[in-house]
Amino acid sequence: CLWNISKKPDIYDNAWLWPRIWQGNRDQIKDPDVIHPGQKLTIPQGKEMTSEEKTAAKRYYSRKAAAAAEAAPVQ
């Protein structure tokens, strides 16, 4: 997963930077929860996320929260 790739010491050494890889490979990764063995991913340089990467991450987490709220049982 992108989280595990990002946390590798020779990549970013920070799992929270996974959106950098997602955004740098949008041609291959439509859903950041789905990557496939054998994909050749580009690893963008730098240890800071751009504003575009931050925005993409916020949208991703918002969609995940909305989906979880819809799936939660009504009490």
Query: What pLDDT does residue 72 have?
Result: 78
pLDDT digits (tens, 9 = 90+) for 19-74: 999 999 999 999 999 999 999 999 999 989 999 999 999 999 999 999 999 887 77
The DSSP code for 22 is: H
- Per the confidence metrics, is the pTM higher than 0.75? yes
**What element of type H or E holds 59?**
helix 51-71
Interior angle at CA 71, CA 16 and CA 31, nearest 5: 40
CA dist., res. 46 & res. 14, Å (int): 11
Hunting for tokens 């240890």 — which residue is that?
47
CA dist., res. 35 & res. 1, Å (int): 7
